[in-house]
Amino acid sequence: MIQYRLASADHLDEVAQLFHESFDNYPFMDLLVRPEKKNPEFFYELHKVITQAYINRRGCFIGVVNGEIVTAALLKHRDDPDVGVMDYISAGGIKLFIKGGLSAVWNMVNVAEEAKRSYKGIKQQKWYLEALGVSCFHQGKSFGSKMINDCLVPFIRRNGGGILALITNTNLNRSFY
């Protein structure tokens, strides 16, 4: 049975590693940095900074089975502003410049802003699912669907409702969502 809860700072490294492994070959990452310039340290640090920013805002959820984090989600509250540059800086974002350089960080910010534009046009109250990751050992077993249906949707209902918005760029994920 999966137990869901908010992540704490103690979970940061494990959640960042889960996202790093889950999104390693995800096509969206190629939009952030050209494939020939991919730097695994930069991407791990990117996941760590984003995760920390959401932990700080109490928007990082985890699913745990037998003490192991098997799913994680980053959810922006409908009433909160978007996670922004200052959130990332306070979450350790300066390290991204060291690991990836100015152009990689600048490109990442631009691509993320472009991606978010699609959900900002939705007029209803909305929660934004920034990321949903499933441990490589548990992919294909409906753990992502379970997290959405058993954790995120009930949380949204308990906290004022609204729709769940997200973006994806793979056909497999389109059918999943």
Q: Which of 103, 23, 89 is nearest to 56 (CA)?
A: 89
Distance CA 33, CA 42 (A): 10
Q: How many CA atoms lie within 13 A of 89 on its CB side?
A: 3
Q: What is the mean pLDDT of residues 137-147?
A: 92
Tokens 């669907």 belong to residue: 145
Query: Chain-wide mean pLDDT for the chain?
Result: 85
Residue boundaries of the structural domains of the chain: 3-176
Percent of the chain with pLDDT over 90: 49
Tokens 């695994």 belong to residue: 40
Tokens 């889960």 belong to residue: 18
The whole model's pTM is what? Answer: 0.87
The CA angle 78-82-87, to the nearest 5 degrees, is 130
pLDDT, one tens digit per residue, over 31-68 is: 666 666 667 788 899 899 999 999 999 999 999 999 99
* CATH code assigned to 3-176: 3.40.630.30
Q: How far is CA 158 from the centre of its chain?
A: 21
Q: What is the mean pLDDT of residues 127-146?
A: 92
pLDDT of residue 101: 76
Q: Is the pLDDT score of 109 beyond 90?
A: no
